[in-house]
Amino acid sequence: MSRIGVFVCWCGENIARTVDVVQVAEASLQFPGVKHAAHYKYMCSEPGQSLIRDKILADRLDGIVVASCSPHMHLKTFRGAAQAAGLNPYLVEIANIREHCSWVHQDKAKATAKAIDLVRMAVAKVRRNNALQAIKVPVTKRALIIGAGVAGIQAALDIADAGYEVVLVEREPSVGGKMAGLSETFPTMDCSQCILTPRMVDVGQHPRIKLYTCAEVESVDGYVGNFKATIRQKARFVDIKKCTGCGECWNACPQKKIASEFDYGMGNRRAIYIPFPQAVPARPAIDKQACLKLKKGVCGICAKKCAAGAINYADQDQLLEEPIGAIIVATGYQLYQISAQQPTAELSGYGEYGYGQYKDVIDALQFERLVSASGPTGGVIQRPSDGKEPKHVVFISCVGSRDNAKGISYCSKICCMYTAKHTMLYKHKVHDGQAHVFYMDIRSGGKNYDEFVRRAIEQDHARYYRGRVSKITEENGKLIVRGADTLAGTPVTIEADLVVLASAMRPATGSDDLARKLRIGYDQNGFLSESHPKLRPVETNSAGILICGACHAPKDIPESVAQASAAAGKVLVMFSHKEMQRDPEIAKINESTCSACFACVRTCPYQAAEKADVRDRAGNLVKRTARINQGLCMGCGTCVAVCPSKSADLEGFSDQQIYAMVESLL
Amino acid sequence: MSQTISLAGIRQLIGQWLGQGKRVAGPIRVNADTILYQNLTSAEALLLDGCVHPGNSIKEFVMPPHEKLYEYVVKGRDVELRNQEAFPPERLILGGRPCDAAALPILDHIFNWDFVDAAYNQRRQALTIVSLACTRQDDACFCTSVGLAPDAVQGSDALLVPLGNDEYEVRCQTPKGEALFAGKCTPSDRQGSVPAGPAKQFDAKQVEALITSQFEAPVWREQALACLGCGACAYGCPTCHCFDIVDEGHAGGGIRARNWDACQFPLFTLHASGHNPRQGQASRQRQRVYHKFHIYPEKFKEYLCTGCGNCVRRCPAGLGLLSVLTAIQQAGAAAPAAKGEEAKQP
Amino acid sequence: MSAHPTGVFEPKVIAYVCNWCTYLGADLAGTSRLEYPANVRIVRLPCTGRIDFNLLIKGFEVGADAILVSGCHPGDCHYTSGNFHARRRWILFRQLLDTMGFDMNRIHFAWISAAEGKKFQHVLTDIVEQTRRMGPYAAYSKICEEVSC
Amino acid sequence: MKNIYQPELMEILQVRQHTADVKSVRIRFKDPAAAAAFSFRVGQFGIFSAFGQGESTFNICSSSNWKDYLEFCFRKTGKVTEALWQAEEGDTIGFRGPYGNGYPMEAWEGKDLIFVAGGIAMPPVRCAIWYALENRAKYGNISIVYGARTVGDLVFADELDKWAGYENVRVVQCVDPGGATPEWKGEVGFVPKVLEQAGLTAHNAVALVVGPPVMIKFSMPVLDKMGLALKDIYTSLENRMKCGVGKCGRCNAGPVYVCKDGPVFNMEMVRTLHDDF
Amino acid sequence: MLEQKLRQTCRELLANGTVKVIIGYGAAPAGQATRAVFITTPEGVEQLVWNDRCEANLVAYLKRPEVRALGKPAIVVKACDERALVVLQQEAQLERANVFVIGMACDGIGAPREAKCRSCEDQVPRFCDVVLGEVTKPADAASARWDELAEFMKKSPEERMAYWQQELARCVKCYACRQVCPLCYCQRCIVDKNRPTVISTSPSLKGNFAWHVTRAFHLAARCAGCDACTRACPVGINLRLLNQSMAKATEENFQCRPGTDPQAQPLIGNYATGDKEEFIR
């Protein structure tokens, strides 16, 4: 490349305030190969991009360096601009003089000197770029959706309705996730069963959705458009094809006292059970830990009762493989374990609230089950300890959330809303009951959200105290809740019959292991990392893998559904092309100098480097060599560093480019 | 009448040269089993008769392994060249072997053939060479086979012939030699003498003819089988002078340097098209013998070899010119004038 | 980097960083306006697995006074195993550099994730200050200028 | 004492791209005194520097009669040629030479000239053709046979047509089988076969054959059949060269230093080189 | 004695056609130690010798195209040479079935005895087709393996850098250390590549440091410890120190001794999540 254009961006004031952009432009004219240098207030804007396009045509430029923000922000933008002017998009390099320079250095002289160095390195690199063409790869038009909560269901339906096959994998025996367990939902108070069950049925009956329940993703290989997902179908001990869901088995099962996970321990279930009446598939599963037949080889009543002969005690886990083109992760959330000991060291518990010690201190989801018509108490609010109707219920917000000391710094976003909902539900069921709410701030920013909270306070007379609860003790059947009302400036002590803790939302258990299997990032709280918070909220850094719902961050149902459709939309964009364009910045091997030690074959995490033979026209073996499978290579470059004879190289980050960058610093 | 000088006198001479800021080089012990010609830092370091022949040769002082030819400075789209004007410092080489000193006149031919190599000649003129006649030899020495002798004087400004108990007879050969030893020797009538050189191992004239007649003989392939293709023989040899020219620098400027190279490396003759006229090690080893014993004599009437034996001593595979040349001679005797009907050399 | 006009020694630091974690960590330090000295020159590579050992030697050859190599935490690598290969390579290569007499206080390795903008700031500031105290790496730059004979 | 390795600085006047990886460059001495003092014989070569990358050897492909510039042609294969590929008008490169013996144009006077070239070997022949055309009277019939792998690989294709216009100059162009394009009007076949089909007569003629070794090998019997003696067939050897002044030993093939005693040899001499080229 | 048994074994191998050529040690004419000989006829076995000057590592010849062209070889190896054979096998450079390995029990070589022999732990080859002779003089101090390196590492980094600066100044880049090494089998070495020029080809200090760091690191977790490179260096640079540094690091950090287990996976190119790292922040 010998006709290079350097374009320095002001980024409004973000760069220009601490970097002398004019001086950077002038200095870059001295670099070898630079034919033109310009600066403009907003390079990424339309006028900025047209400035680049015009200069490419006017000066026959064959290489572009844009000194602006991080390549993660606008490399695609400027590559598009170059392509629009007929220049190969891979002849564009970015010098990051904003995040890595103007924003972090105040001394203008030093920041400008550094910016000039960064541009010099980018020019040295772009002079050795090759014009690359995208690699064409076939696309498997089947999507894998992990987690069948409201988000997973929505995404599955969108994609299936668009005509493509979906593999939906759910860990629990039934789809529905956390929403299935809720009573009513804010702000419209419509019953979650009524709005979710039809969707669950659609999912269960959709011709193009292949539903796996009691199943987990074992491993995922391959790459975007050509994944191979291995799904572990855990032993259910019930053949759901034969079973008609008549219920004979779970009515006769002697093991009655198993704490139901679906009811979060508020009610019990049998060893063979369906989690809740509207379960889809409405087929039971046997709990290996509880079933006497499976544990001790006795009983077996359910098999005798089953007319369809669907019970199979010898059922084993199976590993099934599914060809997949794109993956959506919708594994949802779980509530923060309020009791003293915690799964990880940083998260310390709320022993002082007595959760797990006092039976009448429950968390929000447990209260949902109490209030729910299909709940263990049939919707009657009663104290778990003695079953009496509670006259005074205390709701405590921000239990865990916004509390660095407890290791959770973020706000769980939806607790203010469902706490207000709980006070209304409680009022409608116990007319003479009094709800007390201890809160820090009320966060009700959604549509009709604040009106909803006002109604809870004004119409249903919930008493809101702005303050923290310090301690809960139990004295003769009553829970003494000691807190403070900072607005009134007085301590508050309430003798409550029931305490409901609005505890923090945390990612579902095992979501970090799944992230490792899929090679996507997650933050220090375990929530999955999106590719870009504003520009690519549902994509991840791994091509072809998307995320939606609470697994990404705490969020309510409307947002989860919106994100689910967004993720499905992205998948449909990919499936709309006959074949997929793959990033050509991948490895290549100089087969004439490769000495076939196959260090690269051992190293490649994607098995993209293969052993191959070089044959002459007559077909006899000339030599052995390593060869790169262009469909599999993801461009990590580990083979390039491990190759002793430097026969392996990586387009886009080739040795020539990297060494030119380093040598330009002399 | 002869002139003599004592070891102390020689050391005093070194001290004097070093004092005047000039360079003195000679064989010094570098470690337990390696003696090399190197710049002396003190008079005591000189090792007059510590070994048969040091590991390298005094070629290093006329054509260093890495030498700056000139500098270039890039100024935008223009370039400025800065010549290597620094005149090389005067250097005295003391205690060199006659077979090393004899190599310099041989090299003078090629470096002054038509184009005069300034860098070589400037260094050559700055040299004063005082050789030490050989009192020891080993199986690798074959100077007698190429017309030299333990007390050969070619290329030396003065020759020291040992008289025993640190006394040396000084035989000045050139005005430079006389100037060096003027006033430092004591006249005496003792004549130094050295034992006769090694028996002639091969007849150079006959080998010169045999090389072309046996060009395709299998002897080359057999001899080259044990060769591993390194450059130890060429770099230790007093007469091997092939070199490479490379650029060392960065975008702003740098130097164009001359580095030693050797015909034993495959890249030496690799064409840009990928074709390599001398692909196999046998053809490369034959080329080295052919250049020394046929091409150079044909062009400059002198063998490009002084029989110092370094190629034999330094070869990690135990080869060297001696075994190759004797093998050629036997092959030649066994099948006289067998015109090359053998299979082509690889 | 020549000395700053006020005569204070300004060390030249080269950072070889992986594109998915440490580079984004540096971006995060930018978006969070976390200030650190302007001595570092960041070279972006797809993965720590891609950083070959010759790059360290080349870094010192061009006059770096300290070199940082940083990438994703073990287990977080975007390409699953790049950082494991790198770690194994550095465990061995550090011994060789130590045997050759390189100043090991000028070679730094770190795991900095995309969420650790602060850590990026701390590591960089620490390296620059420490290198400033140690002064320029004259030992190796002298080796690189010298033309024998 | 002059540093024989130090090049003259040259300014690039014009860069022409012939094929996907072949360019020809026109350069002029920056120092007018050097320009005035410079002269060369067609067939000689020079050593061209891309400062920072190194030096490479190319034939001077312009005629010695053109005084105010030099031309050379190269294919992008290595480090130096990749740098030269990026050179633009106004850039500075280095040149030292002329080296080698050049074509014995004087000895060829009064004879018919047969030029046979293959692929990238057209430049070494082009300078001789232009020289002969500029002294047209001194030479007899001129026939030019030039072939390349594909139509896109033909170098100086436009000048081939220009030469056909000169009186009794016969130009035969060909491409290897499969390299032709629909509009291709020239021959299709390998150079040796096309040479044979051209049916050239060769009494009192000399031939200059330059190209890949395999082309020379198969052209020799054809030229032999045309009655050309070995001493009347000349070629320019493409050995690897580095110093150009007969010192570095690279181009040593058989008894000769190709850079000093060549690169132009007649086939009689080439036969004695034990195919070391 | 042992020499006769070796000749007899080789005569039979050639006679019954098991192998086409014997790569063994023969007398070197000019008073050198010994040199490689390539015997293709049963009578030729008389040239074979076995004494304590059989220093070269003959496995280096298996990479030479001219030697491979001779057909299936039998090769005479000591235990240290054999480790290189095993590494070549792990790196798909040779099929074990295509080489007949004659292992010689070794009492140590070199006059004076080589450093590696004084602390040699396995004097009898373990993976060969036939083993001749047995150990009469066990090595004296097996524990002394790292003494030389430990002594060197007592120096301060500045002293070490000064030592290597003085030693590597003598290197003239004849690449004998590369050519004699059985594990340096690349057709086009990294140093012969110039796009980009990773290692300067000049024998300047910069070029020599870059070269010797690369050569030593390319032997990390591979070097058999035969010391062919140290013996071959014409200017007497103690390359053994660098190889030992890598060998010690490999053993201590990864409990791996290269070339001692044909089934083992090469260290470089594989990874373990458990590699310990106390130097990474």
Q: Check residue E140 and give its pLDDT.
A: 67
Closest CB to E200 among B226, B232, B248:
B248
Q: Are D44 and D260 in contact (CB under 8 A)?
A: no
Q: Check residue B343 and give its pLDDT.
A: 38
Query: Does A662 touch chain C if contact means CB atoms closer than 8 Å?
Result: yes
What pLDDT digit, counting tens, does each position of C87-100 carry?
999 999 999 999 99
Final residue in a domain of this structure, among E103, E132, E161: E132
Residues 232-261 of E with CB under 8 A from B: 232, 234-236, 238
Query: Does C135 touch chain E if contact means CB atoms closer than 8 Å?
Result: no
Average pLDDT of chain D to the nearest whole number:
91
Q: Which residue has the tokens 């060291």?
A: A345
For strands D205-210 and D187-188, give the pairing.
unpaired
Q: Which residue has the tokens 């491979």?
A: E68
Residue A574 pLDDT grade (very low, low, confident, very high; cuts 50, 70, 90): very high
Residue E149 shares a structural domain with residue E75: no
DSSP string, D16-47: EEEETTEEEEEEEESSHHHHHH----TT-EEE
Give the CA dihedral D41, D42, D43, D47, nearest 10 degrees.
Answer: 70
Residue D146's DSSP bridge partners are D117, D173
Query: Does A596 touch chain E if contact means CB atoms closer than 8 Å?
Result: yes
What pLDDT digit, counting tens, does each position of B287-342 carry?
999 999 999 999 999 999 999 999 999 999 989 899 899 888 888 877 655 444 44
CATH fold group of domain A142-226+319-332+508-575: FAD/NAD(P)-binding domain (3.50.50)
What pLDDT digit, counting tens, does each position of A457-483 carry?
999 999 999 999 998 998 888 999 999
- Which helix or strand (DSSP H or E) is residue A10 part of? none
For the domain covering A4-126, report its CATH number: 3.40.50
The domains of chain C are located at: 13-145
SS3 category, A160 = helix
B·D CB contacts under 8 A? 127
8 Å CB contact of E281 and C110: yes
Closest CB to B281 among E33, E66, E238:
E66
Query: How far is CA A552 from its chain centroid?
Result: 4
With a cut of 70, say whether residue A363 has pLDDT above it.
yes
Query: Does B209 touch chain D if contact means CB atoms closer than 8 Å?
Result: no
Q: How far is D86 from chain A (nearest CA, A)?
A: 5
Burial state string for E15-34 with b = 16 or more CB within 10 A and e = fewer than 16: eeeebebbbbbbbbbbebbb
8 Å CB contact of D250 and B111: no
Residue E274 belongs to some domain of the structure: no
DSSP string, chain C: -PPPTTS-----EEEEEETTTHHHHHHHHHHTT----TTEEEEEES-GGG--HHHHHHHHHTT-SEEEEEEPPTT--TTSSHHHHHHHHHHHHHHHHHHHT--GGGEEEEE--TT-HHHHHHHHHHHHHHHHHH---HHHHHHHH----
Q: Which residue has the tokens 């660098």?
A: E242
Q: How many CB atoms lie under 10 A from the CB of residue D275?
A: 14
Class level of CATH domain A587-650: alpha beta
- Higher-scoring residue by pLDDT: B194, E91: E91
SS3 category, A168 = strand
Burial state string for A36-57 with b = 16 or more CB within 10 A and e = fewer than 16: bbebbeebbeeebbebbbebbe
Q: Are A573 and A139 in contact (CB under 8 A)?
A: no
Report the C-alpha gap between A202 and A186 in whole angstroms. 24
Among chain C residues, CA nearest to B250: C62
Report the C-alpha gap between B121 and E227 in whole angstroms. 40
Residues 47-106 of C with CB under 8 A from E: 53-54, 57-58, 61, 74-75, 81, 84-85, 87-104
Q: Check residue C44 and give its pLDDT.
A: 96
Closest CB to B76 among A30, A592, A663:
A30
Residue E136 pLDDT grade (very low, low, confident, very high; cuts 50, 70, 90): confident
Among chain C residues, CA nearest to E206: C144
Q: Which two tokens stand for residue A97?
A: 């003089």
Q: Check residue E250 and give its pLDDT.
A: 94
Report the C-alpha gap between B243 and B263 in whole angstroms. 9
Q: How far is B154 from chain A (nearest CA, A)?
A: 46
Q: Check residue D105 and give its pLDDT.
A: 93
Q: Check residue E30 and give its pLDDT.
A: 59
Report the C-alpha gap between A154 and A160 in whole angstroms. 10
The domains of chain D are located at: 8-99, 112-236
With a cut of 80, say whether residue C1 has pLDDT above it.
no
Query: Does A30 touch chain B if contact means CB atoms closer than 8 Å?
Result: yes
Q: Which two tokens stand for residue E207?
A: 């070029």
Q: Check residue E31 and give its pLDDT.
A: 59
Q: Do E and C touch, counting CB pairs below 8 Å (3 needed)? A: yes
With a cut of 70, say whether residue C4 has pLDDT above it.
no
Q: What percent of chain A has pLDDT over 90?
A: 76
Best mutation target among D215, D242, D260 (most B Cβ atoms within 10 Å) is: D242
Q: How many domains does chain E have?
A: 2
8 Å CB contact of A646 and E193: yes
Nearest to A647 by CA among A601, A575, A591: A591
Chain B residues within 8 A of D239 when measuring between CB atoms: 269, 271, 277
Lowest mean pLDDT: which of A113-122, D181-190, E81-90?
Answer: D181-190
Q: Domain limits at E113? A: 2-132
Q: Which residue has the tokens 């039976």?
A: A359
What pLDDT digit, counting tens, does each position of C16-50 carry?
999 999 999 999 999 999 999 999 999 999 999 99
Report, as an integer, the average pLDDT of B230-259.
92
Q: How far is A3 from chain D (nearest CA, A)?
A: 8
Chain A residues within 8 A of D78 when measuring between CB atoms: none
Lowest mean pLDDT: which of C116-130, D5-19, D69-83, D247-261?
Answer: D247-261
Q: Which two tokens stand for residue D227?
A: 């009655």
Chain C residues within 8 A of E270 when measuring between CB atoms: 88
Report the C-alpha gap between A263 and A254 in whole angstroms. 20
| Residue C22 identity | T
Query: Does A644 touch chain C if contact means CB atoms closer than 8 Å?
Result: no
Among chain C residues, CA nearest to A587: C50
Report, as an integer, the average pLDDT of A275-286.
92
8 Å CB contact of E269 and A602: yes
Q: Check residue C89 and give its pLDDT.
A: 94
Report the C-alpha gap between A514 and A531 in whole angstroms. 17
Q: How far is E60 from chain B (nearest CA, A)?
A: 8
Q: Check residue B48 and give its pLDDT.
A: 85
CATH, domain D112-236, list 3.30.450.70, 3.40.50.11540, 3.30.565.10, 3.40.50.80: 3.40.50.80
Residue E266 belongs to some domain of the structure: no
8 Å CB contact of E187 and A645: yes
Chain A residues within 8 A of C89 when measuring between CB atoms: 641
Among chain D residues, CA nearest to A35: D88
8 Å CB contact of E91 and A660: no
Phi-psi region of A510 (alpha: psi -120 to 50; beta: other; left: phi over 0): left
Final residue in a domain of this structure, among E89, E108, E132: E132
What pLDDT digit, counting tens, does each position of B192-216 carry?
888 888 888 888 888 888 888 888 8
8 Å CB contact of D247 and B115: yes
Query: Does A114 touch chain C if contact means CB atoms closer than 8 Å?
Result: yes
With a cut of 60, say whether residue E237 has pLDDT above it.
yes
Query: Does C149 touch chain B if contact means CB atoms closer than 8 Å?
Result: yes
Report, as an integer, the average pLDDT of A93-108.
95
Residue D25 pLDDT grade (very low, low, confident, very high; cuts 50, 70, 90): very high
8 Å CB contact of C148 and B65: yes
Sign (positive or negative) of CA dihedral B172, B177, B178, B182 = negative
Report the C-alpha gap between E87 and D90 in whole angstroms. 55
Q: How far is B123 from chain E (nearest CA, A)?
A: 19
| Residue A615 identity | R
Lowest mean pLDDT: which of A518-532, B287-301, E98-112?
Answer: A518-532
In this structure, what DSSP letter does residue A504 have? P
**Distances from the Cα of B48 to the Cα of B155, B183, B194, E13, angstroms:** 18, 22, 15, 51
CATH fold group of domain C13-145: Rossmann fold (3.40.50)
8 Å CB contact of B70 and D274: no
Q: Which residue has the tokens 């009494």?
A: D203
The domains of chain A are located at: 4-126, 142-226+319-332+508-575, 248-305, 335-506, 587-650
- Which helix or strand (DSSP H or E) is residue A80 part of? helix A71-84
- Give chains near C: 3+ CB pairs under 8 A: A, B, E
8 Å CB contact of C95 and E248: yes
8 Å CB contact of B215 and D274: yes
Report the C-alpha gap between C131 and C125 in whole angstroms. 10
Outline where A145-281 has alpha helix (H).
Answer: 150-161, 192-205, 248-252
Angle, CA of A150, A156 and A157, to the nearest 5°: 90
Chain D residues within 8 A of A592 when measuring between CB atoms: none
Q: How far is A62 from chain D (nearest CA, A)?
A: 10
Q: How far is C138 from chain E (nearest CA, A)?
A: 11
Q: Check residue D123 and give its pLDDT.
A: 94
What pLDDT digit, counting tens, does each position of E176-217 carry?
999 999 999 998 999 999 989 999 999 999 999 999 999 999
Average pLDDT of chain A to the nearest whole number:
92
Sign (positive or negative) of CA dihedral E216, E219, E225, E230 = negative
The domains of chain B are located at: 2-64+85-188, 204-334
Sign (positive or negative) of CA dihedral B320, E42, B330, D249 = negative
Among chain C residues, CA nearest to A527: C115
Q: Are B70 and B84 in contact (CB under 8 A)?
A: yes
With a cut of 70, say whether residue D44 has pLDDT above it.
yes
Residue E165 belongs to some domain of the structure: yes
Q: How would you class A506 by CB atoms within 10 Å of its CB: exposed for 0-12, middle for 13-18, buried for 19 or more?
A: buried
Q: Check residue A407 and give its pLDDT.
A: 81
Residue D60's DSSP bridge partners are D72
SS3 category, A250 = helix
Burial state string for E250-259 with b = 16 or more CB within 10 A and e = fewer than 16: beebbebbbb
What pLDDT digit, counting tens, does each position of A587-630 carry?
999 999 999 999 999 999 877 899 999 999 899 999 999 999 88
Q: What percent of chain A has pLDDT over 70?
A: 99
Average pLDDT of chain B to the nearest whole number:
89
Chain E residues within 8 A of B313 when measuring between CB atoms: 30, 32
- Which helix or strand (DSSP H or E) is residue B159 part of? strand B158-164
SS3 category, A434 = strand
Report, as an integer, the average pLDDT of D253-259.
88
Q: Check residue A578 and give its pLDDT.
A: 85
Q: Do C and D touch, counting CB pairs below 8 Å (3 needed)? A: no
Residue E112 shares a structural domain with residue E18: yes
8 Å CB contact of E194 and D78: yes
Report, as an integer, the average pLDDT of B124-151.
92
Query: Does A597 touch chain E if contact means CB atoms closer than 8 Å?
Result: yes
Report the C-alpha gap between A474 and A499 in whole angstroms. 11
Residue D208's DSSP bridge partners are D115, D234
Could you name the CATH architecture of A335-506? 3-Layer(bba) Sandwich (3.50)
With a cut of 50, say whether residue B272 has pLDDT above it.
yes
Nearest to A396 by CA among A452, A472, A447: A472
Report the C-alpha gap between A347 and C35 in whole angstroms. 30
What pLDDT digit, counting tens, does each position of B93-136 carry?
999 999 999 999 999 999 999 899 999 999 999 999 999 999 98
Residue D5 pLDDT grade (very low, low, confident, very high; cuts 50, 70, 90): very high
With a cut of 70, say whether residue D13 has pLDDT above it.
yes
Q: Do A and B touch, counting CB pairs below 8 Å (3 needed)? A: yes
Could you name the CATH architecture of D8-99? Beta Barrel (2.40)
Report the C-alpha gap between A201 and A148 in whole angstroms. 12
| Residue A570 identity | K
